[in-house]
A and B are shown apart, each in its own frame.
Chain A
Amino acid sequence: MGTLNSTLSSLLSSINQEISAKEQQKIRDSIVSSIYSCAEEIARKAAHHQTDRKFELDQKIDNIVTSRVFGIPIMLALLGVILWLTITGANYPSQLLANSLFWLEGQFTNFFMMVGAPDWLHGVLVLGMYRGLAWVVSVMLPPMAIFFPLFTLLEDLGYLPRVAFNLDRYFKKACAHGKQALTMCMGFGCNAAGVISCRIIESPRERLIAVLTNVFVPCNGRFPILISLSMIFIGGLGATASSTAAAAVVVLLVLLGVVVTLLMSWLLSKTVLKGEPSFFTLELPPYRKPQVGRILIRSLLDRTIFVLMRAIVVAAPAGAITWILANTYIGDLSIIAHLAGWLDPFAVLLGLDGIILMAFILGLPANEIVLPIMIMSYLSAGAMLELDSLTALRTLLVDNGWTWLTALSTMLFSLLHFPCGTTLLTIYKETKSLKWTAFAALMPLGTAILVTFAIAQFAVLLGLV
């Protein structure tokens, strides 16, 4: 059988060599024309257009959403509305979930006390693991359950290809692919999902650029930190924080993320991923009435639960480890305090402090535990807990020396730093390369350090802080 195969393969390649490349191209042209003219002929017989008007409504909609004047503002407005709906809508259910999950924690604690379990076991399992999980679920689930359906709705309507159409020029200038805009949209929900969606980009070079830069779009796990800090510090509103102001600040941060994405894509294209933009096609499909039922099922089952499960898988062990670090003492300081103290001199250069930087490092498995770790460390309570209001959080942070610069640096660091563990794992699966996965972590980290360092030093130099 082996010999038969080699006979076959040598026969096929010799046939291939008999025909010149030029001839092959001519034949291909002719083959494609023949198929299309056959298709034309059949369509002429079988389909009858009774009028000339086609896609009239579509054209009218497109005249607006891709117009020179309104195209980009409409895009931004839609983004703002979706973020606003997500922020406002998630508030109440988040609270509700947190209350019930923390009530359950109380029950667990009672149970552990009843059976007389050792303190450390209760600490690792309940105060570490369970509380970490409860945090992630209550903070992540409601926004995702709102964001993903809204996003799927836009997808189903057929609006997203128009976004890519509007933005392609800028991506082309960065030697990247217009469909990268679509993968970025996906990244808002979850960067891991965004990385997977990069498959729609055909050219390997441009796909890799999209994969590596997806992290510059803040995902749902990072929105809570961006939102609460912008409500507390940038709006300067304290207790009467408005979701509108927070949404506006977050939109600005998102825009910055887009600018960084374009810059980094360009930089990558000029250095390690040299190359010209490849062939680009994008279909602008007709607008279709969305199927609400299917949207809900698809976005809840396929996206929300999927992303949540992965977050849970990393958050549980991370919670346990954090508890252990916070409750193991070397001398009279916990390991966490030692780490923070050690990181502090460097963190201060970036406008942060040791605890913030450590929280980002410990938060590698899941971005949503960054803020809880920070709070926990400030309170030295040894377990992650949620403060009941933003005012309390503000007091805590200000008492620990936070200024507007600290808040700004933290937000920028959150926006630009390395992707979470799940995303890195996904990047490894998609690229099958440890080298690119490491690069995907180090490149954003470098960017975050550079930007925060520049801003912090600039502010200090001008005496703004």
Chain B
Amino acid sequence: MTDTIVPLSQLPNGASGTVKYLTAQGQVRRHLLDLGLVAGSKIESIRRSPAGNPTAFNIRGAIIALRNEDADQVFVTLDKTMEEKNESHR
């Protein structure tokens, strides 16, 4: 389960993940790298806009909104531990 790789837009709200690879090419890839989305980066899905798209993510300490089309070019693994940590907190 821990190794399931999903596109970033499928990261559930409040869940965090780790970037595995980018499928984006050219300018979009540059932009994503620019934001700090490299393999191994931690990323957390924060909230969706009222219309469901874009989604805001916590990327290296800044809250940055991406459209699903762009986020889908980033693939992440879900961090199970985060949820478990949250559970034990409560």
Identify the A interface with B (CB < 8 A).
25, 28-29, 32-33, 36-37, 55, 59, 62-63, 66-68, 71-72, 165-166, 168-170, 172, 178, 277, 279-286
Contacts and interface: CB of A to CB of B under 8 A. Distances in A.
A452 to B, nearest CB: 31
A168 B70 CA distance: 14
Contact of A178 (B34, B35, B54, B69): B54
Which A-B residue pairs are the 10 nearest by beta carbons? A169-B51, A71-B50, A284-B63, A33-B38, A282-B65, A32-B33, A68-B50, A280-B67, A279-B31, A279-B28
A165 B33 contact: no
Contacts of B28: 279
Given A25-B29, A32-B33, A283 B51 contact: no
A33 B63 contact: no
Nearest to B41: A36
B36 interface: yes
Nearest to B85: A52
B85 to A, nearest CB: 9
B65 A165 contact: yes
Interface centre among A165, A280, A283 (most CB of B within 10 A): A165
A182 to B, nearest CB: 13
Contact of B49 (A33, A55, A63, A168): A168
Given A168-B65, A280-B67, A280-B70, A36 B54 contact: no
A68 B70 CA distance: 22
A29 B50 contact: no
A169 B64 contact: no
Given A62-B47, A168-B49, A29 B56 contact: no
B39 A169 contact: no
A28 B25 CA distance: 12
B54 A169 contact: yes
A37 B42 CA distance: 12
A277 B68 CA distance: 12
A62 B50 CA distance: 11
B47 A280 contact: no
Given A32-B34, A33-B38, A66-B50, 11 more contacts: A29-B33, A55-B63, A63-B47, A168-B49, A168-B53, A169-B54, A280-B66, A280-B67, A281-B31, A282-B64, A283-B64
Given A28-B30, A71-B50, A165-B56, A172 B67 contact: yes
A165 B38 contact: no
A66 B49 contact: yes
Interface centre among A59, A172, A279 (most CB of B within 10 A): A279
Given A36-B38, A283-B62, A66 B47 contact: yes
Nearest to B67: A280
B12 interface: no
Given A66-B47, A280-B67, A282-B64, A169 B33 contact: no
Contacts of A172: 53, 67
Given A36-B41, A279-B28, A170 B36 contact: no
A166 to B, nearest CB: 5
B88 interface: no
Nearest to A178: B54
Contacts of A25: 25, 29
A170 B34 CA distance: 26
B27 interface: yes
A293 B37 CA distance: 38
13 contacts: A29-B22, A32-B38, A33-B39, A59-B46, A67-B50, A68-B50, A71-B49, A165-B65, A277-B69, A280-B65, A281-B35, A282-B65, A286-B63
A172 B65 CA distance: 13
Nearest to B42: A40
B21 to A, nearest CB: 9
A72 B54 contact: no
Contact of A72 (B50, B53, B63): B50
